């Protein structure tokens, strides 16, 4: 019975205040908002005592809101976080290294005299390219008699060295200009010498 009298008392107070507010407000667009707010207050006034009766014997444990971690647990949590961060970083670094190596290999194969390129990229701690190594397979053509493969490079050693140096220079210039690798060590080797 006490609950019912509390509900009636709260609703009467809210209705009196709402009536006074409605008399004071001018005709217009505010009245529906005031009626909505009054309806919410009445709903709260009815449900609050009912909820107190229904759930009065239950206590809500809020200790987990105030989480207290001892130093050992905190160190373990930090170590685990650093390990996860390192795994994410290494996975990201490997994927980035593979993507950059693939792009550089694709661009390098556009240089005349280059048939295939294997690229290995080494990234530094900040994710920038530290160094790269290109293994270039020279382009070969079939001779007119069909007797075998003849390289694009001339047969004498001096001419071979000059041709390799021209390709090395072109590759180095293209890679440095395209990607802006001014301070990056670009090492270019040719397959078979």
* Lowest mean per-residue pLDDT among 53-57, 107-111, 114-118, 184-188: 53-57
- Crossing angle, helix 30-54 and helix 2-24, to 10 degrees? 170
Q: What percent of the chain has pLDDT over 70?
A: 84
Q: What is the mean pLDDT of the chain?
A: 79
What is the average pLDDT across 67-91? 87
What's the rounded mean pLDDT across residues 75-81?
92
Report, as an integer, the average pLDDT of 16-41.
82
Burial class (CB in 10 A: 0-12, 13-18, 19+), 38: middle
pTM above 0.75, yes or no: no
Give the per-residue pLDDT at 79: 94
| C-alpha distances in Å from residue 106, one per residue of 110, 115, 134, 145, 172 | 7, 11, 12, 32, 14
Residues in CB range of 97: below 8 A, 6 or more apart: 121, 122, 123
The pLDDT of 8-23, averaged and rounded, is 85
Express as a percent the part of the chain with pLDDT over 90.
5
What pLDDT sits at residue 38?
Answer: 84
Locate the domains of the chain by residue range. 2-57, 94-190
Q: Give residues with Cβ within 8 angstroms of 120, minimum separation 6.
A: 101, 132, 133
* 65/88 Cα distance (integer angstroms): 30
pLDDT in tens, 114-148: 888 898 988 887 778 888 888 888 876 544 444 44
Residue 82 has pLDDT above 90, yes or no: yes
Which one has a higher pLDDT value, 187 or 142? 187
- Judge: domain 94-190, CATH 1.10.3300: no
pLDDT average, residue stretch 149-177? 73
Residue 182: C-alpha distances to residues 115, 178, 187, 188 (Å)? 26, 11, 13, 16
């Amino acid at each position: 019975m006490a609950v019912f009298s509390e509900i009636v008392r709260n609703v009467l107070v809210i209705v009196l205040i709402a009536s006074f507010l409605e008399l004071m407000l001018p005709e217009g667009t505010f009245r529906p908002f005031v009626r909505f707010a009054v309806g919410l207050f009445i709903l709260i006034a009815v449900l609050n005592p009912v909820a107190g009766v229904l759930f009065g014997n239950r206590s809500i444990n809020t200790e987990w809101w105030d989480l207290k971690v001892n130093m050992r647990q905190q160190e373990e949590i930090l170590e685990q976080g650093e390990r996860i961060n390192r795994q994410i970083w290494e996975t990201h670094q490997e994927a980035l290294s593979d993507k950059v190596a693939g792009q550089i290999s694709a661009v390098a194969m556009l240089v005349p005299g280059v048939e295939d390129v294997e690229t290995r990229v080494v990234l530094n701690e900040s994710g920038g390219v530290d160094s790269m190594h290109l293994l270039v397979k020279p382009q070969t053509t079939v001779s007119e008699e069909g007797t075998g493969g003849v390289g694009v490079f001339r047969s004498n050693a001096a001419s071979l060295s000059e041709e390799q140096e021209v390709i090395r220079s072109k590759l180095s210039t293209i890679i440095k200009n395209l990607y802006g690798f001014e301070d990056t060590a670009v090492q270019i080797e040719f397959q078979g010498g």
